[in-house]
Amino acid sequence: MLKAIMKGSLLLISSVIIITDAVNGCHPKCLCHQFSKTVDCRNRGLTEVPTHLPVGTQILLLSNNRIQKISQHAFTDASALKILDLSNNSISGLLPGTFKELQNLQILNLTKNFIGYVDNRTFSFLPRLKELDLSSNNILSLPGTLGNNTGHITLLSLKHNKLQKIDKLLLESLPNLKVVLFKGNIWQCNCQVFGLKLWLESFLYRGGISDGVICSSPENRKGKDLLKIPYELYGICSSTASQVHQANFHHYSEHRGSMKHAHSSEHGGDGSRSHCEPKPKPRPVSLRHALATVIITGVICGIVCLMMLAAAVYGCAYAAMTAKYHRENSSSGKEKGNQSGERTI
Ligand SMILES: *[C@@H]1O[C@H](CO)[C@@H](O)[C@H](O)[C@H]1NC(C)=O
Ligand SMILES: *[C@@H]1O[C@H](CO)[C@@H](O)[C@H](O)[C@H]1NC(C)=O
Ligand SMILES: *[C@@H]1O[C@H](CO)[C@@H](O)[C@H](O)[C@H]1NC(C)=O
Ligand SMILES: *[C@@H]1O[C@H](CO)[C@@H](O)[C@H](O)[C@H]1NC(C)=O
């Protein structure tokens, strides 16, 4: 009797749970924690984003699944979402409008996927985004900006992708960036990377945190830290006069790879050329430059001093000689006078 009642109530409770789940839309493979507004669907072999989420869900954990594509409407009723973890899935591309409903999203984790291309609209609809993890994907290049709503981004991870370069404009469009991670890419350290170097120096100077840029090519810079390659070696790209190029060619013959690139980009579109030209932006004060200035000033001062000394010596010598000449002249004049006097006498 008691057992039957217990069974009955258990059935009742479980059916109530199922009904509330259905009403709230918890996917059968997920765990929905109402209190923390979290939906946990990790490690469930899911191939798509669960369509219905309990109203007001703030955290959606979808890591370690096999999601390949995200439908344009996957997040239509997820506007309260603050954290979206899609790490370790099989996503190869993102439609530009995928995240457009996520007005409150703060953390978007897309690490360990197969994303190869990022559209400039994909993250454009996320006005509160703070952390964007795009590490361990196949990203070959990034757009010139991540959109016009990226002012709150404080962390950007691009580690372990296939990036050769990054547009300085993209980084400059993230004014609140505090942490940026670059390691594990195939950075090409020719003149194209000059803008990144300038930006990174200024970013670190302002207290930003970065794991640095390690060059992959050209061969002679492989494994080198971008920040430790002196500015002078990028001079080739800045000069547009081909005569200067030829004059420099000999001097920089060991950097032939980048020279070729500089040449080809020079004959290419205007855009690539201006891209390559280091603009006279305010740089953080560099010790090397200060030193160079001191040395040049010293040399010029030395030359001036030497010239003044020479002038002084010359002046003295001249004065002495004229004095001597005058003395001799006057004495010879006297002698002459004497002689003539003798003669007249
Ligand atoms: C990634 O997800 C798969 C399941 O899809 C899992 O077997 C694997 O352990 C996960 N990798 C990591 C690093 O968590
Ligand atoms: C993204 O998820 C991975 C684990 O899958 C974690 O190591 C990493 O810290 C997360 N990134 C962010 C920005 O939270
Ligand atoms: C996105 O990129 C395209 C070219 O690829 C450009 O025409 C467009 O202006 C860009 N949009 C934004 C918002 O940057
Ligand atoms: C970005 O700016 C363009 C025009 O500057 C505007 O049409 C577009 O709606 C903006 N996008 C967002 C997501 O605000």
The pLDDT tens digits for 255-299 are: 333 333 333 333 333 333 334 433 444 444 555 566 666 677 777
What's the 3-state SS for 254-265?
Answer: HHHHHHHHHHHH
Q: Name the residue at shortest CA distance from atom 3 of ligand 3.
A: 120
Q: Name the residue at shortest CA distance from atom 13 of ligand 2.
A: 133
What confidence score (pLDDT) does residue 231 get? 73
DSSP H helices in the chain: 2-24, 168-172, 194-205, 235-238, 242-251, 256-267, 270-276, 287-344
pTM of the model: 0.68
Question: What is the whole-number distance in angstroms between the Cα of residue 42 and the centre of ligand 1?
Answer: 10
Q: Give every CB contact of residue 289 below 8 A, 6+ residues apart in sequence.
A: 283
Question: What is the whole-number distance in angstroms between the Cα of residue 88 and the centre of ligand 1?
Answer: 6
What confidence score (pLDDT) does residue 272 get? 37
Question: What is the whole-number distance in angstroms between the Cα of residue 205 and the centre of ligand 3?
Answer: 30
User: Using a 6 Å cutoff on CB, does residue 124 contact ligand 4?
Assistant: yes
User: Using a 6 Å cutoff on CB, does residue 64 contact ligand 3?
Assistant: no
Percent of the chain surpassing pLDDT 70: 67
Nearest ligand, measured from the Cα of 149: 4
Ranking 1-5, 56-60, 174-178 by mean pLDDT, the lowest is 1-5
CATH assignment of 21-289, among 3.30.479.30, 3.60.21.10, 3.40.50.300, 3.80.10.10: 3.80.10.10
User: Using a 6 Å cutoff on CB, does residue 135 contact ligand 2?
Assistant: no
The yes-or-no verdict on residue 198 having pLDDT over 70 is: yes
Q: What pLDDT, in 10s, does the model give residues 158-175? A: 999 999 999 999 999 999
Q: What pLDDT, in 10s, does the model give residues 309-332? A: 877 777 767 677 777 666 665 555
Which residue has better confidence, 242 or 45? 45
Angle subtended at Cα 313 by Cα 309 and Cα 316, rounded to the nearest 5 degrees: 135
Which one of 15-19, 220-224, 256-260 scores highest in mean pLDDT?
A: 220-224
Percent of the chain surpassing pLDDT 90: 46
In whole angstroms, what separates CA 249 from the centre of its chain?
Answer: 28
For residue 134, what pLDDT band results from cuts at 50, 70 and 90? Answer: very high
Task: Determine contact, residues 319/240, Cβ cutoff 8 Å.
Answer: no
Question: Whole-angstrom distance between the N-terminal and C-terminal Cα of the chain?
Answer: 173
Q: Name the residue at shortest CA distance from atom 4 of ligand 2.
A: 87
CB atoms within 10 A of CB 118: 21
DSSP H helices in 101-207: 168-172, 194-205
Give the gyration radius of the chain's Cα atoms.
37
3-state secondary structure of 85: strand
Q: What is the b/e burial string over 249-282, where b = at least 16 CB atoms within 10 angstroms of the residue's CB? A: eeebeebeebbebbeebbeeeeeeeebbbbeeee
The yes-or-no verdict on residue 248 having pLDDT over 60 is: no
Question: How many Cα atoms within 13 Å fall on the side-chain side of residue 144?
Answer: 3
The yes-or-no verdict on residue 37 having pLDDT over 90 is: yes
Q: Which two tokens stand for residue 296?
A: 């040049």
